[in-house]
Amino acid sequence: MTAKPLGGLTRIVDAAIGEIREALVDKDRVVALRLYRASDEGRRARWGEVYSARVRHIDQSRRGAFLDLGLKEQLGFLPLDVRGQARIEGRNPRRLTDGGGVVVAVSREGARGKNPIVRLLDEPHPGGAPQRLEEAEVASDVKSARPAEPAQRALIDAAIDEALARTAPIPGGGALSIEPTAALVAVDVDAGGRWGSKDPEKFALDLNAAAARETARQVRLRSLGGLIAIDFVSMRSNAAKQQLAGEVKRAFAADPWGVRLGQLSAFGVFELSRTQLTAPLHEILREADGRPTVETAALEILRAVEREARTARGRLVNAFVAPEVMAWLDSAIVPWREQLSSRVGLLWSIKAAPGQPRDKLDVRAI
C-alpha cells in the first residue's frame, strides 16, 4: 500500500496474511506500530469498541465488576467507586446487580494476565446476549489495506524487531536498556562509547537529553504505559537538572497518550506515567519467556513464504515449521491457504519438522 502523509508523519499500512500492520514514520524512523490480528475477532476486546454486556460478578474487594462481553477469552473489568457504584461521566453513579445489562466502551486493552478495562456509558441496554455494538474506530485505509511494497514491509519488520529488543541505541552514541516489568517500565541510560564534550556536566546533559528523546520514541513504538522510570546519567548541577526536566517535557509533548511527568530524584531517576490504551507490543508477539507466540511464528513463516515465492518465481517454495506452529496453521483460525495462494500461486508447501524450534524460519526455493 502506498504510504500516506499524516500530520507531518508518513503512515504505512501493510495487509499481511492474518494481520494488518500499521506504522507511523518520521524522517525514515518508525515512531509507532499497531497490529490488527484477524484471530482477535470475537476473542479479545480492542480499545474503543463498545459492547452490550452483562454483569458476571461484582468483586467488592477489587472495587470492580467483571462483565461478560460475549468474547471467547476475556471478561471486561468495570471499576467501581468506594460505594460499589459505577461512575458515568456527567451523571449520577449507578449501582450494578449480578446479571444486569450495561453498555460499556473499552478504555484499555487487556494486558498479560489482566482483563480489559471498560467504562460505563449512559445508554440503554438493548437486551439479549452480550455482543459488540460498535467496532473500534480505525482509518478506512486500514480496513481496505493491501500488501505493502517490499521496502515498506521490510521497514515494518525492522521496526518490530527493534521494538522487541532489550536495548536501543541513542542517536549520537550510548544505549538504552528497556525492561518492562509487572510494576513499571525501567529504562537505564548508558553512555557506552559516546563521544562529546570534555566537560562532564555538559557531556551528561547532552547524553541525557538525547536519551529522553529516544525514550519517548521507544515507549510509543513499543506501546508501553503505566509507571516509567528513567535512570539518567547523574549530574551535579541544578541548572543542568532543570534543563533535563525541560528536555523530558518536550520529548513527550507530542505523545498522543496521556503523559504525567514527575521530577528528577536525587539519584538521577525521572518518573512519569503514560496512559496504557492498547496492549504492549511484546505481549502480543512474545510469550513471557521471550519466545515468539505460536501465532507470531505462524504468521512470520507465511510472510517468509510469500517473500520467497515473489523472488523465486516458477520454483517450488518449501517451508518447515515446528509441529506446534503447523498445528496452529491446521486449525484454520484464518483462511491463510486461500490468501497465500491468491497472492503467490500454488507453488509452495509448508510442513511440520519434528524437533524444530518454534522461532526458526526454514524456507527454501527449489
Residue 149 structural domain:
4-41+140-154
Task: Return all residues near 67 (Cβ < 8 A) that are at least 6 apart.
Answer: 51, 53, 54, 55, 56, 75, 76, 77, 78, 102, 104, 118, 130
Weakest-pLDDT range from 143-147, 247-251, 288-292: 143-147
**CA–CA distance, 157 with 144 (Å, rounded to integer):** 21
pLDDT at 331: 92
pLDDT at 248: 97
Give the strand pairing for 185-190 and 226-231. parallel
pLDDT at 150: 93
What DSSP character marks residue 122? S
- Whether 159 is covered by a domain: the verdict is no
Phi, psi of 157 (to 5 degrees): -55, -45
CATH number of the domain to which 199 belongs: 3.40.630
**CA–CA distance, 45 with 50 (Å, rounded to integer):** 9
Residues 274 and 342 in one domain: no
- Whether 277 is covered by a domain: the verdict is yes
Average pLDDT for the chain: 92
Q: Which residue has the cell 445489562?
A: 101
Residues 114 and 150 in one domain: no
281: cell is 507490543
Give the strand pairing for 85-86 and 29-37. unpaired
Give the strand pairing for 29-37 and 19-26. antiparallel
Residues 228 and 293 in one domain: no
pLDDT at 4: 60
- Whether 160 is covered by a domain: the verdict is no
Is 9 within 8 Å of 26 (Cβ atoms)? yes
Q: Of 231, 254, 281, which residue constitutes the final position of a domain? A: 281
Give per-residue pLDDT as tens, 41-87.
Answer: 999 999 999 999 999 999 988 999 999 999 998 999 999 998 889 99
- Give yes or no for residue 207 having a pLDDT over 60: yes
CA distances from 52 to 62, 121, 134 (A): 23, 10, 9
CA distances from 172 to 27, 137, 250, 342 (A): 16, 38, 19, 45
Q: Where would I find the H helices in the chain?
A: 140-143, 150-164, 200-221, 238-251, 281-285, 294-311, 323-330, 336-344
pLDDT at 157: 96
Q: Average of pLDDT values for 207-222?
A: 97
Is pTM beyond 0.85 here?
A: yes
- Give yes or no for residue 1 having a pLDDT over 70: no
SS3 of 137-200: the string is CCCHHHHCCCCCCHHHHHHHHHHHHHHHCCEEECCCCCEEEEEECCCCEEEEEECCCCCCCCCH
Give the torsion sign (CA, 206, 207, 210, 215): negative
- Give yes or no for residue 6 having a pLDDT over 70: no
Task: Return all residues near 272 (Cβ < 8 A) that are at least 6 apart.
Answer: 227, 228, 230, 248, 252, 259, 260, 261, 262
Residues 36 and 146 in one domain: yes
Q: Which residue has the cell 525514550?
A: 215
Residues 150 and 9 in one domain: yes
Task: Please classify residue 232 by burial: count the beta carbons closer than 10 Å to its beta carbon, then call 0-12 exposed, 13-18 middle and 19+ buried.
Answer: buried
Q: Average of pLDDT values for 254-275?
A: 93
Residues 24 and 125 in one domain: no
Give per-residue pLDDT as tens, 58-70.
Answer: 998 899 999 999 9
pLDDT at 266: 85
Residues 128 and 28 in one domain: no
Give per-residue pLDDT as tens, 281-322.
Answer: 999 999 999 999 999 999 999 999 999 999 988 899 999 999
Residue with the larger pLDDT of the pair 232 and 197: 232
- Give yes or no for residue 354 having a pLDDT over 80: yes
Domain count, the chain: 4
Q: Of 216, 248, 281, which residue constitutes the final position of a domain? A: 281
pLDDT at 198: 80
Residues 191 and 262 in one domain: yes
